[in-house]
Every structure is written in C-alpha cells, then in structure tokens.
Structure 1
Amino acid sequence: MKEHSIYHRQWLSLWLILLLTVISNMLVLTFWLADTVSSELLLISSGILILSLLALHWNHQVLLKKAEKLIASELTANQPSSGVFPFLTSAVQQTKDALNKDVDRIKKINSELEHRVLQDNLTGLQNRSAFRKDLTEFLQRETLSDQACLCLIRSTELATINHQRGRIAGDQYLLAIAEIVQSVSQRFSTHYVYRLSGSDYAILLPNASASIAPILGKELKQLFDNLQLQILAESIAYSGITFLHPGQPPEQPLSRADLALAKAQTNVVNGWYLQEENAGDAFQGESHWQHTIQSILESHGISFSGQAIQPLNMAINNYIQIIPRFIGPNQQSLPSETVYAMAMRHGTMGKLEELVIESLLQQHKLHPENVARWGLNLSASALFSSSFIVWLEQRLLQEQDITPNLVFEIDEEILDCHLAASIRMFEMLRRVGCRSCISKFGRGLGSFRLYRELRPDYIKLDSYLVETIERDGTSQQFVRMIIEISHRLGCVVIAEGVETTSQREALERMYIDGIQGQLVSKIIPIGD
C-alpha cells in the first residue's frame, strides 16, 4: 500500500475536522430555523467547535512530532524512504551522493599519501617506516612457532661512485641493486623488499625455513658479482642474514643481522653470512671490525688504484687520483667506506691514514719513471688532529724528491667546518713543497671565502655542478666565474664526475683545465 506524504496527512486531518464542524453547525442552524433551538444546544454547538479546534491543534502537534522523527530517520537512513518527505528525501539523497563521492576521493588521496609515505622515491621500494611497521607486526604475532628470514644488504660503493663518477652513476648503481634484490626475493611466495637508507636494503621473508638462507645468500652474491664486472667496481654489496620469531624485541634480530653484515664484509667480496644465534657480546660486530682494522695495520693490508684526470690545458701536469683499497686477514678486498667509518669509530683513523701515506710513498718510489702528480684525499680526522699534521710534515720533509708530485685533497665541506685548522694544514703543505686541492668545490656559500683564505693549487668542482651544467644557466655562470677567477690566480680547475660528451663539450667551451670521470678514464690498479 502506498504511503501518503506528511502533507497529504495534514490536509486529510484538516478536512475531517472542518467537516465535523460544518455538520455540527448545520444541525444548530436547522434547529434554530425551526425555532426549536435552545441555549443548551448553542452551548453544545460551541463546545463541539472548541473541541474541533483543540483536536485540530492536537493533531497538528502530533504531526509535527512525527515529522521531526521522520526527518531524523531520513537523515540517518542508509536507504531512501518511500516518499513521506519527497523533497527532503531527494535533497538528502543528493547530499549523501555528494558526500559519498567526497569520502571516496578523500580515501583515495589518503591511500596515495600513505603509499608515498611508506615508499622510497628513487627505487619505488618500501622505506624504513614500512620496514619497522611490518617487522613489529610479525614479532607481535601470537603464533610463536612462526619463523621469518631477515636479510640486510649494504651497498658499499655508493660514496666512492658518487665521488668519482657523479650522482647520476650513483643513482644507477642503487637502482641496479634494487632490481637485483627484487628479482631474488620474487622467487619466494611471500616477500617484502625495503630500502632502509641511502645504502642499505632489507628483505623480509615470512614463513621461511632454514634452507632459504644459503639459497638467498648465494643468489645475491652471484648477481652482485655480475654487476661488479659490468660497472668495474671493487665490490657491490654485502648481505647479512638471520631468522626471527614472534615474541622477540626488534633489537635482537636487527643486532644479529648487523653482526652478520659485519662478518660478511670481512669475508669474500660481495659475500653473505648467516647469524643464527644472539651474540654474547652486544658489541661483537664492533669488536669484529676492530680486530679486522688491527690486522690491516699490522699486515700493511693496503693496495692502490688510480683514475687519471684528462688535461684539457697542455700547460698543466698530468694528475692521477689515488684510491686506497684495504685487504683483510684472508686477503679479501674490504669496502673502503666501511673501513674508514669503523676506524673513525674505534679511534684508529690516524694510524690508518699514516699507513695509507707510508704505503703511498713506498709505492711512488717503485715508479721512478712516473711524471704524473698523485692526488690523495684526506679525511676530517687528519685535518683536526694536530699530532697527525706534525707527523705528516716531518714525514714529507724526509721525501723532498717526491713531495712536489703529491697533491693532498680535502673536501670543501670538511674545510669549512674549521677554518683555522684548514689554514694550518694548507700552510704546512706549502712549506714541505706539496700541492693542495679543495675537492667538491662550489657546494656552499663559503666557497669563495675558503678559496681566498686557503689559496689552493687545485680545485675540483662538485659533481652536482657538472650534472646540472647542461640545463641550468645559473650553474653555467657560476662555473664560468670560478674558472675565470682561478686562472687569474694561477689555480688549476678540474671537473669531477664527467659522464657525458655534452658535459665535456660544455666544460671545454668554458676553458676548464681538466676533467675526471668514467667518460675519460677507468679506475685501474696501480701495480707493485
């Protein structure tokens, strides 16, 4: 049966009451005309009229209350009513449709934002936040028998590639590792892959058996070895593997994986290591590296590679960038950036740099026919250590036939941290007859202040300036200004990280003195 609207009901009630009123008054009028009406009948008729009006008022109040309830139900109902309030129903439905569309749009935006928040911009992998979330959720499972495999992967050549080949090559290196990690993990039914930081990745494999570890480690090493041959690097990445169970605090599996990574880095190149049990010493990974660095110092475990700088100005000397490589107790190559970081952490950086310089001097003596200048990068520890500067000055004074061919490079960012120490280092290098160089020049507002105070023999433009020189007019003007000022002051300008012929052509047009990068020279070992 069709339900009438509230307006129909109001009119129906009104007509019924009016009809009752009219009938009662007609009866009174009939009796009055018949001259039989009495005062009692008039009172009755008046009473009926009053009661009708009261009834009309009461019915109106009832309908208002009912209307209020129906409006509330219309506003809260999931489905439209059968038409008690047709105009209201239509307006409410339109409003609901519009709100639903807005809600769906907002949900979509929120989903995209959540995805972006948990995603690494470069590789498209999930990031550290997503890793912590998934790791915590697994460790909070109620089934304690569940087991997952965690693999931490560290790309050890990122800083070296960025410095020697430019940031574009560094990004390509990171993308290649991400592709390898994804391809290996896809062999397993359930897998999660993350990029934790600039150089670290992680694989989480829930419901994993113990047999997964060697399969995972061997496949990663094989693909890393192949990539190493393709890009001609000293290493690519190392893998530390462990297993975890619900109920453990997150620090335990992460500590085991970090220890496994430390052991892998001191094993074979691109190697892997499985750490199943918790270490008795919470700092076993640190101790492991401490013993490794001590072994390097005692056995003089160091070799050198070099990258030639191509001169574009025939008046300048040939220049070779010298790159130290460290050899572990088992004659394996160790990741240089990690060795430096651990030496800094354990207070042996000074001794390590002394070993590098002593070995460099001995290596130079083995090549008396060499006429090129050798450039070596010094760390922040060397700049801020007075004892090291005193030792270096005394040692170089003993090698006066070699010092004119040595160039000591220090990054602009390090020099800018302590101007007084920087001036002391550069003055000492001039006293002993060595050459000085500010590397990664042009990164900050203090570049020209350093230039004026230090008066270097060489400056190496930061690779970011080289990357943007083709498309950024500001970079072009900045580089042109640096070259013009340097030539007036007798300073040689070299561009680092030259990767394309268009970059080279642009720099040649600016009359730069030399260029360095994979485009013009590969990194090759310096023979004994």
Structure 2
Amino acid sequence: MAMSKSYPVFLFVVFLALLAWVYQNQHSQLELQQQQELTQLTHQLATYSEWHGSGAELYQLLSVSHPFQFFQYIDDNDSGLNHTYGSLIPLERHPLAKLFSLDLAHTQKLAQGRLQVKLSDNGAVLQAINHTQTMAALLLGAYLLCVLVFSLLLAKLKRAIHYSAECIRQLPQLSLPPLESSKLTAELSPIRTALEECRSQLKTQRDNLTQENEKLHKVVNQDPVTGFSTRGRFTSQLASIANHNPPQFGLMVMVKATELAHVNQQHGRAAGDDYLAKVANCIRKACNKFQDAQCYRVSSADFAVFIPDVVVKDAPRFLDQLKIYLDEYQQMLQTESVAHLGLVPYQQGMEAAQLLALADTAVSIAQTLGPNSYHIQERSTGNEQLGNDRWKLAIHDLINRNALRFYQQPIQPCRTEVEVYRELLARFYNSEGKSLPTTTVVAMAERHGMSIELDKLVVFNALKMLKENPTLNGNFGVNISALSAHQERFVAWLKDILGKQKYLASRLVFEINESGMQVNLAASHKFVREMHSVGTRVSIERFGNSFTSFKFFSEVRPDYIKLDGTYTTAIDNDANNKFFVRMIVDVARRTGIRVIATSIERQEEKFTLEQLLVDGMQGYYIAQPQAILTTEQS
C-alpha cells in the first residue's frame, strides 16, 4: 500500500485506539465511583438494621446523602408502613448511557421489614459521556489536523517527485535545465545532487560512446583478417560507379586466393587466415605506387582493388609487381599457386553486374594460364569463350593432352601390423606447362559435368604409372570425386578396368570426401561393395564433419577413415577433440576400420595421436608431398 494511503489509515487506527482507551478509562472511573457510593450506602444501612419506623421516613433519611433510582421498603407486619419510589428500569436515558451501564442495586433485611434499593447513576453517567465526547472531539481534531498536514507535505513531495521524474526523462536528451533548488530541498537535496552528477556523467559517457561508435563503425567496415574494407563498402563503390555523377574512370582488379580451401584442409583455419593476411599484404605492397587505390575483401577468398584515374595501358605496372610478390610468397608457402588476378577497366555509368561479370571472366581465364597469372579483360566482344566456358575448354585440353603429374605424400603406420599407403596427389598443367589450381580444376569439372572424364584420367594414369614402374612398391591412394563414385557408368567402367588388372587393383585405395558420400549412403555403400569385389579398398577423407559420420561404420563400411584436420590441430590441448578421436578409434576397431590422422604439423600432436591409438598419421610433420620418380622421369 502506498504511503499516501497507509499513513492516514495508520493515524485512524491510532485515533480509534486512543478513543477506546479514553472510553475504558472513563468507564473504569465511573464504575469505581459508583461502587464506592454503593459501599457507603451499605455501611449507612448497617446503622438502620433495627429500624421500626415507616418506609417513607427511612427514604427521607437515606435520600439526603444518596440519589435513588428505585427505593422499596416492605414491612413484615404492617403494610401501612410500606413505601416505594421510582422504578427499576430508568424511564429517560441518554442514547450513549448503555455504554456506561452499572449494576447499583442492593437488597437488605431489616428488623421488621425488607429493603430493596438501586442507586441512580444518571449524573455520573452524563458526566462520563460528556468527558468522553470532549476527548473524542479533541482526538478527532488532532487526527484531521495530522491528515491535513500530511496531505500538504505529501502534495509538496509529489510535486518534487514529478519534477525529478521530468528531469530524469530529459536526461537521455541531455536537455536538463538548471535545477530549481526550491523544489529539491532538505531531504530531497541528495536527489538534486545525484541528478547533477548523472547529467555530467551521462554527457561524458555519450562522448565516450560517440568515440567508440566511430571505432566500431570502422571495425564493421574493416575486415579483421586483412584490414581491407568489407563487402558493404565494395557494394557502395560499385553503386557509385553505376551513377552518372561525378565522372570517374579507372581499373578494377579481382584477386582470387585459390589455395584457401587447400590451406584450410591441410593446416587448419588459423593457417588459412594467415594465408589470406599474407595475400592482402602482397596486394597492399603492390598498391604503394597508387596512392588512391582502394582495397576490399569481397568474400572469403576474393579481393577487389579499385585504382582510379588509371588507364589500361598502365595496368601491367601494377599486375607485374603484384605477381612478383605472389611468386615470392608461393616459394615460402610451397603450394601450386597463391592467387590469380583479373583486371577490367571501368568508367562512369557502367552497370555493376556487367563489371563483375567481366572481372569473373578475367579471373577464370587467369586460372588457366598458370600459377599467380593475370588476365586483362578490356571488354566482352561476344565472340570469345569467356569465364566458365574457358574452363570447359581448358579441362577438355588437359584431358586430351593427358596433362597430369603425380606427387606423393606417405602415411606413417603407428604399428608394424598396420598396412597403410601413400596418397597420390594429382597436379594438372596447361599447354604451356604451368600448374593449374587443383581445387579449381576439380570444381569446374563437376560444374561442367566432366568429373567422370577427369576421374578416369586420374585412375588411368595411376594404373599406368604402377604398371610401367614395377620398382614402385606399396599401396597408393587415389582421389576421386563422390559425384563420380555415385554414377553407375563410372563404377561399371572402374570395375571393368580394375577387374582386368587385379594385381594392380589390390594396390589402390580410392579416397573420397565424406561430405560427398553423405549425399547418397546407398550409392556410397554400393561403390564400396563393388570396389571390394575387385580387391580395391576405399578411404573416407575429411571424416568427422557430419553429424551422421558414424553411419559409415554400419552402412558404408570403408577400409580407412582419414580424420578431418580440424581434429588434429592442437589436439594435445583440446580435451573435446581427444574424446572424439578416442571414440572413433574405439568404434572403428570393432568394425575393422583403420583410422588415419591428417594435417599433423607438430611433435606434440603426433605424440598425442599415438597415445590415442590411431593406426596411421599424415601431415607436413610426417612428410611433405614430393614428386614421384618414375621410369619416364628418370
């Protein structure tokens, strides 16, 4: 209950309690007084115990000192001496007399008669009633005065509270006027002080938040890995070019970091971020001679550079310098390539979709030209093979030329009884002998429906290499796409060619990505079953990325599973990964499946995985990929 209601109620209760106390006090005094009166009467009657006169005479004697409401004397012998006065029930009484009712009756036997009396209390009762009414009036007046004073003080307090509330409402806008000291005085002065301090602190905090907001605005529009502007800023730049004002022209360079997926797979995402940062640093150094250049990270592996007020004939100056930096980084990274560059000119009013299409075409053509290559696409003539079509021709060309080389990366067994293999890594090259990014070649082959032809090329060359090089001993793993493994015509071709060369088929292990195999478990199981029928084994790579990974144990039943590199990275300090690997090893052993750990780069990771009882290990710490010395090469 609010104070404005509870306090008057409290006062009213106090008033009633005091009134009750006054009444009780008056009633007690009256009762004591009348009791004394009755005691005096009984003492006086004791002197008239031998009374022989009439009742009237006795009444005259006693009424001098005692007021009677009722008096009756009855003589035992002579009724003529009897005398009665008043009545036992009072005829006229004050309305409040019942509150002070007293029993003042007395009966006594005299010598020749019987006396019954009842003292009158009218005077004393009226006096008690008057005194009680006077005290009640005083208490009621005091109560009303207290309520009035309280109401006035409460009204003043409410005005001060409303004033304080209005000041608080104005705080977020920092429009608080000077405080009126007369409205927040005495007990409310701490509120005035708090409001003044709050206004001062809020202004300081607003200034700090404004500064933080400016910093966050920069962070939101700045990629944390590369330090370049984000896609939102890139989109705004494209929109400004599409507008007709102000006039502008220049060059746009698209940079595709083609090795990101490979680096992430082999070394983990931290290494992938470091790779992107290094590529960005190469771009940044190449832009030093172009002070107005603007750099953006468009997507996970794509960068864009706008160089305003520069014409196409000056483009090689930037591209050649950037390629030099990329080539230097490639030697450190030891990969097929680092990035590919596509350059297109732009001018005011050019549609964003047209500009991006030309840039994508330029990058796609650059990817077919060799490591860290660039291509300048000035405009689309409509007669040339652009973008993805260029890749279709490139894949046809490398298949026709049988343009493939093999590298190998061994798997180290953890126990002598464990039979493992060496993974064959296919590397493709163009007509000029320059390497093409493997990931892009495979992706483009799948996009153009040429994955089966590409996988046939890989399998055919692997068999040819083993057949023509009898000194190569041991087993070899060959990567094929899940898309091909799910095609009946490819499986039939594979079964036929392996069935004719079972002595070589038994030395092959087909590695297939788990995510692709998950698409169709029935087809995956059929592929494994058909390969087993010709003596070939199957390995599932990048195992553990799917929630249904354990279905492979019961439904697909491969011979090997290669754990995804994310489980290996810093496993010596990761209890969750240790638990997951231990669980996989336990389940795999019950079903006769070998578990191979990949992407091992540190001694601590190797020791930890050995303790977890994996069957084999692969990674740069174990052995780096190296070229295979065949009869042709020697």
TM-score normalised by L of structure 1: 0.79
* 1:265-284 map, 5 Å: 265-280=367-382, 284=386
In 2, distance between residues paired with 1:346 and 1:502? 43
In 1, distance between residues paired with 2:179 and 2:575? 70
Equivalent residue in structure 2 for 1:122, among 211, 225, 232: 225
Matched, 1:136 2:255: no
Where 1:445 maps in the other structure, the secondary structure is coil
* 1:354–1:418 CA distance, 2 compared to 1 (3 A): same
Larger deviation: 305-314 or 431-440?
305-314
Preserved CA contact (<8 Å) 1:313 1:512: no
Equivalent residue in structure 2 for 1:201, among 293, 300, 303: 303
In 1, distance between residues paired with 2:618 and 2:176? 74
Where 1:224 maps in the other structure, the secondary structure is helix
**Which residue of structure 2 aligns with residue 380 of structure 1?**
482
Equivalent residue in structure 1 for 2:412, among 310, 327, 337: 310
Larger deviation: 304-313 or 158-167?
158-167
State the Cα deviation string for residues 338-386 of structure 1 (Å, max 9, x = none): 1122222222111111111111111121221222211122213113312
**Which residue of structure 2 aligns with residue 169 of structure 1?**
271
In 2, distance between residues paired with 1:213 and 1:232? 28
| Residue type of the alignment partner of 1:454 | V
Matched, 1:510 2:612: yes
| Displacement of 1:318 | 4.5
TM-score normalised by L of structure 2: 0.67
| Displacement of 1:86 | 7.6
In 2, distance between residues paired with 1:294 and 1:225? 27
| Displacement of 1:472 | 1.9
Preserved CA contact (<8 Å) 2:253 2:342: yes
* 1:388–1:310 CA distance, 2 compared to 1 (3 A): same
Equivalent residue in structure 2 for 1:499, among 577, 588, 601: 601
In 1, distance between residues paired with 2:255 and 2:174? 52
- Answer with 1 or 2: which has the greater Rg: 2
Where 1:280 maps in the other structure, the secondary structure is coil
In 1, distance between residues paired with 2:348 and 2:197? 50
| Residue type of the alignment partner of 1:123 | T
* 1:273–1:163 CA distance, 2 compared to 1 (3 A): same
| Displacement of 1:180 | 1.2
In 1, distance between residues paired with 2:288 and 2:583? 51
In 2, distance between residues paired with 1:158 and 1:236? 9
Where 1:306 maps in the other structure, the secondary structure is strand
* 1:51-70 map, 5 Å: none
State the Cα deviation string for residues 183-228 of structure 1 (Å, max 9, x = none): 2223321122222222211212223243541111111111111112
| Residue type of the alignment partner of 2:285 | S
Equivalent residue in structure 2 for 1:460, among 539, 544, 562: 562
Preserved CA contact (<8 Å) 2:483 2:516: no
Matched, 1:187 2:289: yes
State the Cα deviation string for residues 474-514 of structure 1 (Å, max 9, x = none): 21111112223323433221111111111111111222222
Where 1:364 maps in the other structure, the secondary structure is helix
Preserved CA contact (<8 Å) 2:174 2:203: no
* 1:342-381 map, 5 Å: 342-381=444-483
Preserved CA contact (<8 Å) 1:317 1:372: no
Preserved CA contact (<8 Å) 1:468 1:475: no
In 2, distance between residues paired with 1:206 and 1:414? 44
* 1:275-294 map, 5 Å: 275-280=377-382, 284-294=386-396
* 1:205-244 map, 5 Å: 205-244=307-346
Where 1:402 maps in the other structure, the secondary structure is helix
**Which stretches in structure 1 are left out of the alignment for 5+ residues?**
1-70
**Alignment: residue pair count:** 455
State the Cα deviation string for residues 99-150 of structure 1 (Å, max 9, x = none): 5445434434443443333333433332222211223224436133x22221
| Displacement of 1:323 | 1.2
Preserved CA contact (<8 Å) 1:408 1:436: yes
| Residue type of the alignment partner of 1:361 | L
Larger deviation: 356-365 or 127-136?
127-136
Preserved CA contact (<8 Å) 2:366 2:374: yes
| Displacement of 1:78 | 10
| Residue type of the alignment partner of 1:395 | I
State the Cα deviation string for residues 303-358 of structure 1 (Å, max 9, x = none): 11111112222222352111111121232211111112222222211111111111
**Which residue of structure 1 aligns with residue 210 of structure 2?**
107
* 1:101–1:361 CA distance, 2 compared to 1 (3 A): same
Preserved CA contact (<8 Å) 2:255 2:363: yes
* 1:420-459 map, 5 Å: 420-459=522-561
Where 2:550 maps in the other structure, the secondary structure is helix
State the Cα deviation string for residues 232-283 of structure 1 (Å, max 9, x = none): 2111111111111121111122122111112211113211111112342697
| Residue type of the alignment partner of 2:457 | L
| Displacement of 1:421 | 0.9
| Residue type of the alignment partner of 1:308 | P
| Displacement of 1:80 | 10
Identity %: 31
* 1:314-329 map, 5 Å: 314-329=416-431
* 1:291–1:100 CA distance, 2 compared to 1 (3 A): same
| Displacement of 1:434 | 0.4
Equivalent residue in structure 2 for 1:253, among 355, 368, 371: 355
* 1:430–1:187 CA distance, 2 compared to 1 (3 A): same
In 2, distance between residues paired with 1:218 and 1:264? 13
| Residue type of the alignment partner of 1:426 | V
* 1:479–1:437 CA distance, 2 compared to 1 (3 A): same
Where 2:614 maps in the other structure, the secondary structure is coil
In 2, distance between residues paired with 1:444 and 1:468? 21
State the Cα deviation string for residues 271-305 of structure 1 (Å, max 9, x = none): 11111123426972122112111111211111111
Preserved CA contact (<8 Å) 1:409 1:439: yes
In 2, distance between residues paired with 1:84 and 1:504? 72
In 2, distance between residues paired with 1:87 and 1:345? 81
Where 1:149 maps in the other structure, the secondary structure is strand
Preserved CA contact (<8 Å) 1:166 1:498: no
**Which stretches in structure 2 are left out of the alignment for 5+ residues?**
1-165, 184-191
| Displacement of 1:400 | 0.6
| Residue type of the alignment partner of 1:131 | F
In 2, distance between residues paired with 1:93 and 1:444? 59
| Displacement of 1:98 | 5.1
In 1, distance between residues paired with 2:289 and 2:474? 50
Matched, 1:410 2:518: no
In 1, distance between residues paired with 2:174 and 2:482? 68
Preserved CA contact (<8 Å) 1:165 1:496: no
| Residue type of the alignment partner of 1:182 | R
In 2, distance between residues paired with 1:80 and 1:511? 71
Where 2:289 maps in the other structure, the secondary structure is coil
State the Cα deviation string for residues 376-422 of structure 1 (Å, max 9, x = none): 22213113312111111111111111011100111222222211111
In 2, distance between residues paired with 1:97 and 1:190? 43
Matched, 1:158 2:158: no
